[in-house]
């Protein structure tokens, strides 16, 4: 069971519930990326919304998890996100 505001993905991992479904669902200057409205470009993670990371000038979804075993070695699952 996922916490309020999260939903269970097909992989069984809890992730934030999406807020867009495609083109036209976001404000001007934003694009729908992995189900979330994000700025069209970024320079740092602070530019991105919903805990997304900035990589190569684009906001990208973090790796969601329910436990440490779903994260890469040397990473831990903190509040459903591998860190």
With a cut of 90, say whether residue 5 has pLDDT above it. no
Say what the pLDDT of residue 40 is: 92
Residue 42 covered by a domain = yes
In whole angstroms, how large is the CA radius of gyration of the chain?
A: 13
Kindly state whether residue 32 falls inside one of the protein's structural domains.
Answer: yes
Whether residue 31 lies inside any domain: the answer is yes
Q: How many domains does the chain have?
A: 1
* pLDDT at residue 43, as a whole number: 95
Does residue 50 contact residue 39 with C-beta atoms inside 8 Å?
A: no
- The reply to whether 1 falls in a domain is no
Alpha carbon distance 26, 38 (integer Å):
8
Tens-digit pLDDT profile for residues 11-54: 788 888 888 987 778 999 999 988 889 999 999 999 998 788 89
């Amino acid at each position: 069971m996922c916490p309020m505001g999260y939903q269970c993905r097909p992989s069984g991992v809890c992730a934030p519930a999406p807020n867009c479904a495609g083109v036209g669902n976001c404000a001007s200057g934003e694009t729908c990326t992995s189900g979330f409205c994000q700025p069209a470009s970024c320079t740092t993670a602070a530019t991105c919304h919903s805990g997304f990371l900035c990589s190569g000038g684009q906001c990208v979804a973090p790796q969601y998890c329910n436990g440490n075993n779903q994260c890469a070695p040397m990473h831990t699952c903190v509040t459903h996100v591998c860190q």
